């Protein structure tokens, strides 16, 4: 599929629908002529009818995607989770198909099913781990269902392991003499895909249930970074950034970084005002959410330093602590996340593909859209777990957990073990 | 193709002497057996490398052990004769006896068997010594084995021609290795680490700080490697580099998953490490013996020398010995007590209900002359039956996987670290599958079920500073005191 054997997607003359609009921080003109030609490239862009058409296609599908995402956010956590699952399935399907050789596959019936078996096992494992609390809290209504679900969660690791072993044994039993190498490569490829797809999506889902804010902000920052990089590159782009993506420029990169940092700061404040976005979801319900925003989203007032000019209207600003964290997210989004895109480019070049798939008109496949998002989602989760959540885990919250969740015997046991630990420390 | 002409005096290899062809047939690269040592026991049945006179896949590296002559084969392979048929498949089964005199007659085989026995004995001896020394040393042994395995596997599909253009690429592999090590041992041994450094206050603070941010540190190390990888992508070598990157991830996943679980098992009690490993060894040895004496029906196309008789006989033996061995091992406190920190001293603990013998009366079941009127069975023995079942039925698939892999990529052995046995990965293939199962079984069915306490304690250790922990402790004490007052 779409083997890229020509330099077609790199010159402005070929408005391939899949790359035409991916105009982040790219130089529009050819690389060979001098940089002075940048404006000429823009002229070429304006003049080419095909480019207009492809831009239209891309804009149309972008609008639909944005509208869909906004709608799902309005609907709530459960629906966002469903969206993530759907995106996962599409990505996995694209990637499974990518390095499949149709002629070899004909001799191996049922091999594709093996991929989906591992996919299902991975899904059971990751969502079982990350959403076990939510699941338990949802089924507390029915006693029988509660027992069933708690059992499943208790033995979840074992169940998933056995499913994996079943797949492993099935793989070995279906090894065919002439196709060993192909089958082993596919097996390794399946593991890599599932690792990539599930790590990032499970972290995304974990973030969602901690508060849509922690999913929406990183995703928006990536989008803003891309758009800003395109515009800065379009107007100021001159120095190429990396050999891997010749259309990216340093001007675009730096301009986008500054913009992303600034908008991270502002956007965090804006999003922090909505309880729908900031409250964590403890179960799988879909109703409205009310909660105490917590110290992270409570604005603190800072007096502006004396050196500010007189005409500046505001004497003090209200900054939520989360805005400082958002700066870190913005820094990562602008500097490290683009490497996800470089990785995908390099991968496509290595294996001579043009796109990962063709699900989205004008954009290519799901994986093309998600490459930077994946890197960002993992970072957002790890950052949240390391720096944001721990601040909420004060002595009070842990004490409350102890008193609420443990039986008396368990509390005493905890007390004893803690005592031993502290005595040794002294 | 050589793979199919494992027939004595096969027409395709007229230059080979008849007995040499037969010896090729008996080849299996690995193994030897009996070794109690974690890695070494598994070999026999576990990596039945086919007697594929491998055209070693030359990646530009002068690959060791190019098997172009029969003597080579016999030197490295002889002896791996577990449940293998000695006669060629072409001749009838009645010919089996003919295979044996040839083995006895061949001097080279004796020599290679001697080498294998020698290294096996050393391995067993070393292993027993380390088990005696304790948990910390076993952990160190696991780490050393990991490093050797990773090195073998990293080198396996490396093409030195391509690597010349990519300086520092090998360093990237080791960077990821180090990150994976930090991550897995940080997660699995955080409690033990915290308990060890409680002596010094400052060190405690440093270690708790590290544990608190461990995930973040490891993530950043990984990202650094990721960025480094992308920055060093060279135009002509994209495909090679991406493949190596994927290969590195797969290796690290395989190597670290199983060794992390092994180490977690060790600190729960050496019993949970020693019993599974021994069962794999026993399974191999008995599969060989049963196959040797009774083997007739081939088991799987992937390993033509394995037989159903060997398989079934070994399964029965493994299950019985699991039952008995669990009893024997369960009596030693050194093996059954969990280790809460990283010290190396002697261990005392209450064995727990799992290792306490329960008495069952046999009065009505057995005839009068039976000497024992009641049996003392520890509950752990029933659990050991499950471990035995897995070791005999599923774990050999680890060996089949390794064979298939070697056939697919036309490799004879994973390495050559152990004289007479091949590489460390050759020894470890079944053990890896077993170690993961033992850990998961232990976590699901045996570990104390009060997960909540563990989880919250973990949270306390990871997230609270020392003063906060003390404060929490005092508050809890007050609450309990109040509760007692109101109740009384």
Write down the pLDDT at residue B451: 57
Q: Nearest by CB to B216, which of A349, A350, A386?
A: A386
pLDDT digits (tens, 9 = 90+) for A22-35: 433 333 333 333 33
Write down the pLDDT at residue B320: 93
Helix (H) or strand (E) holding A94: helix A77-98
Using a pLDDT cut of 90, give the percent of chain A over it: 10
CA distance A413 to chain B (A): 8
The domain segmentation of chain A, as residue ranges, is 393-425
Q: Find, in chain A, the residue whose alpha carbon is nearest to that of B438.
A: A158
Q: ipTM of this model? A: 0.78
CA distance A280 to chain B (A): 19
Indicate the angle between helix axes B96-105 and B18-25, nearest 10 degrees.
Answer: 110
Q: Nearest by CB to B215, which of A180, A242, A386?
A: A386
Q: Is B239–A188 a contact, with Cβ atoms under 8 angstroms apart?
A: no
Rg of chain A over Cα atoms, rounded to whole angstroms, equals 25
The span from the CA of A234 to the CA of A39, in Å, is: 9
Q: Taking a contact as any Cβ pair under 8 Å apart, which residues of chain A between 344 and 403 contact chain B?
A: 346-347, 349-351, 375, 378-379, 382-383, 385-387, 390, 393-395, 398-399, 401-403
Q: Find, in chain B, the residue whose alpha carbon is nearest to that of A417.
A: B457
pLDDT digits (tens, 9 = 90+) for A204-252: 888 888 888 898 999 899 988 988 888 888 888 888 888 888 778 898 8
Phi, psi of A88 (to 5 degrees): -60, -45
Phi, psi of B303 (to 5 degrees): -130, 90
Cβ contacts (< 8 Å) between B466 and chain A: which residues?
425
Write down the pLDDT at residue B10: 38
Write down the pLDDT at residue A103: 61
Higher-confidence position of B101 and A75: A75
∠ Cα B283 B288 B289 (to 5°): 100
DSSP A35: G
Q: Does A3 touch chain B (CB under 8 A)?
A: no
Cβ contacts (< 8 Å) between A410 and chain B: which residues?
450, 452-453
The span from the CA of A381 to the CA of A203, in Å, is: 6
Higher-confidence position of A351 and B28: A351
Q: Find, in chain A, the residue whose alpha carbon is nearest to that of B247.
A: A188
Q: Nearest by CB to B472, which of A347, A349, A395?
A: A395
pLDDT by position in tens, chain B (length 488):
443 334 333 344 344 444 433 434 443 444 444 444 443 333 344 444 433 333 333 333 333 333 333 333 333 333 333 333 333 333 333 334 444 444 444 577 667 667 777 777 787 788 888 888 888 888 888 888 888 888 888 887 776 666 666 777 788 889 999 999 999 888 888 777 777 776 677 777 787 778 778 888 899 999 999 988 988 888 888 888 888 888 888 889 888 888 888 888 888 888 888 999 889 888 888 888 888 888 888 888 878 778 888 899 999 999 999 999 988 888 888 888 887 777 777 777 777 777 888 777 766 666 767 676 677 888 888 889 999 999 998 888 888 888 888 888 888 777 777 776 667 777 788 888 898 899 888 888 877 655 566 667 777 776 677 777 788 888 888 888 887 887 77
Q: Find, in chain A, the residue whose alpha carbon is nearest to that of B411.
A: A181
Write down the pLDDT at residue A122: 92
Q: Is A411–B480 a contact, with Cβ atoms under 8 angstroms apart?
A: yes
Write down the pLDDT at residue A326: 93
Q: Nearest by CB to A157, which of B301, B408, B440?
A: B440
Write down the pLDDT at residue B316: 94
Which one of B233, B399, B446 would you mutate to disrupt binding with A, by most A Cβ within 10 Å of its Cβ? Answer: B233
| The two three-digit tokens of residue A402, written as one number | 């102890």
The tally of CA atoms less than 13 A away on the side-chain side of residue B469 is: 27
Q: Is B477–A415 a contact, with Cβ atoms under 8 angstroms apart?
A: yes
Q: Nearest by CB to A191, which of B226, B250, B457?
A: B250
The span from the CA of A269 to the CA of A296, in Å, is: 11
Q: What is the DSSP string of B140-208?
A: HHHHHHHHHHHHHHHHHT--HHHHTT-TTHHHHHHHHHHHHHHHHHHHHTHHHHHHHGGGSHHHHHHHH
Number of H helices, E strands in chain B: 21, 4
The span from the CA of A20 to the CA of A8, in Å, is: 11
CA distance A312 to chain B (A): 40
Cβ contacts (< 8 Å) between B404 and chain A: which residues?
172, 175, 180, 184
Higher-confidence position of A142 and A95: A95
What are the CA-CA distances from residue B122 to residues A281, B125, B133, B419, B427 (Å)?
58, 5, 16, 11, 14
What string of H, E and C letters represents the secondary structure of B223-291? HHHHHHHHHCCCHHHHHHHHHHHHHHHHHHHHHHHHHHHHHHHHHHCCHHHHHHHHHHHHHHHHHHHHH
Higher-confidence position of A107 and A14: A107
B420: left (phi over 0), alpha (psi -120 to 50) or beta: left
Lowest mean pLDDT, pick from A144-148, A302-306, A378-382, B241-245: A302-306
Q: Nearest by CB to B409, which of A181, A394, A398?
A: A181
Q: Find, in chain A, the residue whose alpha carbon is nearest to that of B246.
A: A192
Q: Find, in chain B, the residue whose alpha carbon is nearest to that of A387.
A: B213
Cβ contacts (< 8 Å) between B461 and chain A: which residues?
421
CA distance B16 to chain A (A): 25
Q: Report yes or no: B42 and B399 within 8 Å, Cβ to Cβ.
A: yes
The tally of CA atoms less than 13 A away on the side-chain side of residue A318 is: 8
Q: Find, in chain B, the residue whose alpha carbon is nearest to that of A335.
A: B227
The span from the CA of B278 to the CA of B322, in Å, is: 9
Write down the pLDDT at residue B321: 94
Which one of A3, A198, A346 would you mutate to disrupt binding with B, by most B Cβ within 10 Å of its Cβ? Answer: A346
Cβ contacts (< 8 Å) between A394 and chain B: which residues?
468
Place A309 in a pLDDT band, splitting at 50, 70 and 90. Answer: low
Q: Find, in chain A, the residue whose alpha carbon is nearest to that of B224.
A: A336
CA distance A74 to chain B (A): 31
Q: Is A386–B227 a contact, with Cβ atoms under 8 angstroms apart?
A: no
The domain segmentation of chain B, as residue ranges, is 19-89, 103-447, 450-488
Kindly report the average pLDDT of chain A as a whole number.
Answer: 76
Q: Is B404–A339 a contact, with Cβ atoms under 8 angstroms apart?
A: no
Q: Report yes or no: B311 and B399 within 8 Å, Cβ to Cβ.
A: no
Q: Is B250–A192 a contact, with Cβ atoms under 8 angstroms apart?
A: yes
Write down the pLDDT at residue B15: 42
CA distance B193 to chain A (A): 12
Q: Does A169 touch chain B (CB under 8 A)?
A: yes
Q: Is B394–A165 a contact, with Cβ atoms under 8 angstroms apart?
A: yes
Q: Nearest by CB to A425, which of B198, B226, B253?
A: B198
Q: Does A170 touch chain B (CB under 8 A)?
A: no
| The two three-digit tokens of residue B289, written as one number | 């013996």
Write down the pLDDT at residue B487: 75
Write down the pLDDT at residue A4: 34
Write down the pLDDT at residue B2: 41
Cβ contacts (< 8 Å) between A177 and chain B: which residues?
301
CA distance B47 to chain A (A): 13
Q: Is B476–A399 a contact, with Cβ atoms under 8 angstroms apart?
A: yes
Q: Find, in chain B, the residue whose alpha carbon is nearest to that of A188.
A: B250
Q: Is A387–B216 a contact, with Cβ atoms under 8 angstroms apart?
A: yes
Q: Is A410–B440 a contact, with Cβ atoms under 8 angstroms apart?
A: no
- Residue in A268, A242, A265 with CA at minimum distance from that of residue A253: A242
pLDDT at A260 over 90: yes
Cβ contacts (< 8 Å) between B464 and chain A: which residues?
393, 395, 398
Tell me which residue has tokens 């006895």: B104
Cβ contacts (< 8 Å) between B223 and chain A: which residues?
336, 375, 379
pLDDT at A331 over 90: yes
Write down the pLDDT at residue B162: 65
Q: Taking a contact as any Cβ pair under 8 Å apart, which residues of chain A between 177 and 196 contact chain B?
A: 177, 180-181, 183-184, 188-189, 191-192, 195
Write down the pLDDT at residue A312: 67
The span from the CA of B13 to the CA of B158, in Å, is: 31
The span from the CA of A121 to the CA of A162, in Å, is: 9
Pairing of strands B303-307, B298-300: antiparallel
Q: Does A404 touch chain B (CB under 8 A)?
A: no
Mean pLDDT of A177-202: 85
Write down the pLDDT at residue A167: 92
């Amino acid at each position: 599929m779409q083997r890229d054997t020509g330099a077609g997607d790199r010159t402005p003359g070929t408005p391939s629908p899949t790359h035409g609009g991916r105009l982040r921080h790219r130089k529009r003109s050819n690389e060979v002529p001098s940089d002075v030609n940048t404006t000429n490239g823009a002229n070429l862009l304006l003049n080419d009818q095909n480019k207009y058409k492809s831009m239209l296609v891309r804009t149309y599908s972008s609008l639909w995607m944005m509208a869909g995402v906004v709608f799902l956010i309005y609907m709530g956590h459960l629906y966002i989770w469903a969206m993530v699952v759907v995106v996962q399935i599409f990505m996995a399907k694209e990637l499974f198909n990518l390095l499949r050789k149709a002629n070899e596959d004909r001799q191996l019936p049922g091999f594709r099913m093996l991929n989906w078996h591992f996919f299902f096992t991975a899904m059971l494992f990751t969502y079982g781990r990350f959403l076990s609390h939510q699941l338990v809290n949802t089924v507390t209504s029915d006693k029988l269902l509660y027992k069933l679900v708690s059992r499943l969660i208790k033995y979840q690791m074992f169940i998933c392991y056995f499913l994996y072993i079943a797949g492993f044994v099935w793989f070995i039993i279906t090894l065919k003499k002439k196709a060993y190498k192909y089958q082993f490569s596919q097996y390794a490829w399946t593991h890599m895909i599932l690792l990539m797809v599930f790590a990032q999506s499970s972290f995304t889902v974990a973030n969602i249930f901690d508060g849509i804010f922690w999913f929406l902000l990183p995703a928006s920052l990536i989008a803003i970074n891309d758009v800003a990089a395109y515009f800065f590159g379009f107007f100021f782009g001159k120095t190429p950034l990396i050999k891997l993506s010749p259309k990216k420029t340093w001007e675009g990169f730096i301009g986008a970084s500054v913009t992303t940092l600034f908008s991270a700061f502002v956007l965090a404040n804006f999003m922090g005002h909505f309880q729908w976005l900031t409250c964590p979801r403890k179960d799988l319900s879909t109703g409205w959410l009310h909660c105490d925003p917590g110290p992270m989203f409570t604005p603190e007032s800072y007096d502006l330093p004396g050196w500010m000019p007189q005409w500046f209207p505001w004497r003090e600003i209200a900054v939520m602590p989360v805005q400082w964290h958002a700066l870190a997210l913005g820094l990562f989004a602008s500097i490290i996340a683009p490497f996800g895109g470089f990785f995908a480019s390099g991968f496509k070049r290595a294996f001579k593909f043009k796109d990962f798939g063709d699900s989205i008109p004008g954009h290519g496949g799901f994986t093309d859209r998600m490459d930077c998002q994946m890197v960002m989602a993992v970072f957002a989760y790890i950052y949240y777990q390391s720096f944001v959540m721990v601040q909420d885990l004060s002595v009070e919250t842990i004490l409350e957990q102890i008193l609420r969740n443990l039986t008396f015997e368990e509390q005493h046991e905890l007390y004893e073990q803690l005592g031993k630990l502290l005595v040794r420390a002294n | 193709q050589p793979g199919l002409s494992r027939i004595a005096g096969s027409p395709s290899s007229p230059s080979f002497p008849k007995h040499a062809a037969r010896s090729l047939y008996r080849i299996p690269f690995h193994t030897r057996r009996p070794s109690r040592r974690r890695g070494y026991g598994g070999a026999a049945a576990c990596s039945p490398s086919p007697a594929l006179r491998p055209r070693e896949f030359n990646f530009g590296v002068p690959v060791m052990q190019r098997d172009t002559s029969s003597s080579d084969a016999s030197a490295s392979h002889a002896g791996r004769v577990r449940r293998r048929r000695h006669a060629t498949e072409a001749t009838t089964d009645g010919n089996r006896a003919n295979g044996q005199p040839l083995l006895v007659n061949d001097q080279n085989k004796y020599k290679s068997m001697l080498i294998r026995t020698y290294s096996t004995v050393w391995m067993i001896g070393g292993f027993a010594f380390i088990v005696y020394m304790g948990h910390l040393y076993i952990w160190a042994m696991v780490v050393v084995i990991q490093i050797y395995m990773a090195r073998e596997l990293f080198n396996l599909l490396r093409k030195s021609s391509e690597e010349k253009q990519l300086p520092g690429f090998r360093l990237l592999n080791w960077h990821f290795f180090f990150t994976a090590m930090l991550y897995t041992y940080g997660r699995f041994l955080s409690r033990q680490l915290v308990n060890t450094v409680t002596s010094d206050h400052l060190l405690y603070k440093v270690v708790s700080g590290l544990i608190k941010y461990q995930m973040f540190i490891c993530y950043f190390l990984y990202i650094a490697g990721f960025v480094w990888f992308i920055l060093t992508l060279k135009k002509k070598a994209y495909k090679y580099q991406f493949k190596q990157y994927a290969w590195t991830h797969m290796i690290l996943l395989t190597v670290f998953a199983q060794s992390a679980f092994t180490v977690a098992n060790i600190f729960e009690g050496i019993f949970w490490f020693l019993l599974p490993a021994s069962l794999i060894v026993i399974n191999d040895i008995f599969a060989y013996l049963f196959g040797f004496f009774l083997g007739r029906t081939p088991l799987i196309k992937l390993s033509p020398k394995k037989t159903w008789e060997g398989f079934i006989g070994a399964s029965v033996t493994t299950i019985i010995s699991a039952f008995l061995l669990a009893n024997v091992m369960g009596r030693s406190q050194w093996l059954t007590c969990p280790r809460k920190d990283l010290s190396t001293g002697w261990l005392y603990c209450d064995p727990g209900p799992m290792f306490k013998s329960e008495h069952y009366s046999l009065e009505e079941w057995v005839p009068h002359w039976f000497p024992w009127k009641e049996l003392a069975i520890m509950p752990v023995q029933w659990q050991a039956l499950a471990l035995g079942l897995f070791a005999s039925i599923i774990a050999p698939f680890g060996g089949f996987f390794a064979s298939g892999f070697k056939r697919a990529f036309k490799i004879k052995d994973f390495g050559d670290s152990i004289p007479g046995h091949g590489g460390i990965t050759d020894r470890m293939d079944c053990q890896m599958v077993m170690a993961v199962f033992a850990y998961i079984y232990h976590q699901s069915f045996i570990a104390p079920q009060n997960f909540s306490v563990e989880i919250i304690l973990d949270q306390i250790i990871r997230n609270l500073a020392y003063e906060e922990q003390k404060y929490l402790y005092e508050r809890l004490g007050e609450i309990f005191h109040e509760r007692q007052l109101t109740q009384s």
